[in-house]
Amino acid sequence: MKEFLDQAAIIKGLGKSVFSGNLIFHKRIDSTNTHAKELALKGAPHGTVVLAEEQTAGKGRLDRKWLSPGHENLLFTILLKPTLKAENIFTLTMILAVSAIDTIKEMAGLNVLIKWPNDLYINIKKLAGILTEFSIKDGFVEYVIIGLGLNVNWMPGQGDGLLYDATSILAESGIRVSRNELLTGILKRFEISYEAVIACKMEGLHSRWNELSLVIGRDVEIISIDEVIRGKAIAIDREGALILENNRGEEIRVLSGDVSLRF
């Protein structure tokens, strides 16, 4: 049976949380990221979460679209106003990825990996994408919005207009999980990790996102705005950058780009 997103149940599940008083729910909206950005500019508080059943103009990285049918998946954006240096922004993308992975493991028993910099994969299929947008002032973060699109109970099929092979929690596990409980679990974990990031207690988190990486140890090709970089992925550093070793044995640090795995 189809389950609707239930704001009251989510707030109850969150308990005492920075997110529980700031949850904004839409049945239909252009994009939760776009709306969160508008709210940030109007002074919305740290911890605002914009959640939608359906998006009419969902956005992915590199001007791509994020397609998702209504009432099946999770589409939400977290607005944060952290005291954080600009170079640490991508740690927030990483902790959202790890929070989602741990919650999915607990609820559906699936092993999900991070395809740096912002995708969640099961084997060779994309389960989720994260879009992190931000504003920087004097080297510090003014606000950051982190949007997650996670395929939950949708059964992606041919003709969905996707650029890649997509999957969902239901397609992989046969389990129809509660989206309300899934969201609550992700936000609770994210809040704990966020506190650790702000307190500079990064050891455990840093090793977690390396353990969960799909690309480490693999030959990759990264297409960034103006170049193509090839090499073996060695690690993701504390700031969320990917460290590659090229065929001359030199280390290259890459902050963003589109990764393909080479076989």
Binding site for ligand BTN (CB under 6 A): 31-33, 55, 58-61, 64, 66, 75-77, 118-119, 129-131, 147-149
Secondary structure class of 256 (helix, strand, coil)? coil
Dihedral of CA 6/12/14/16: which sign?
Answer: positive
Q: How far is the CB of 20 from ligand BTN (least distance, A)?
A: 20
Q: Which residue has the tokens 């996102």?
A: 209
Q: Where are the alpha helices (DSSP H) in the chain?
A: 7-14, 32-41, 89-108, 169-173, 179-198, 203-211
Nearer Cβ to ligand BTN (47/60): 60
- Cβ contacts of residue 93 below 8 Å, gap of 6+? 117, 118, 130, 132, 146, 240
Q: How far is the CB of 218 from ligand BTN (least distance, A)?
A: 19
Nearer Cβ to ligand BTN (31/103): 31
Q: How far is the CB of 231 from ligand BTN (least distance, A)?
A: 23
Q: How far is the CB of 97 from ligand BTN (least distance, A)?
A: 11
18: left (phi over 0), alpha (psi -120 to 50) or beta: alpha
Please give the backbone phi and psi of residue 249, each rounded to the nearest 5 degrees, phi first: 80, 10
Q: How far is the CB of 248 from ligand BTN (least distance, A)?
A: 31
Q: Which residue's beta carbon is nearest to the bound ligand BTN?
A: 129
Nearer Cβ to ligand BTN (16/148): 148
Nearer Cβ to ligand BTN (119/191): 119
Nearer Cβ to ligand BTN (77/167): 77
Give 8-11's long-range contacts (Cβ < 8 A, gap of 24+).
Answer: 9/180, 10/51, 10/180, 10/183, 10/184
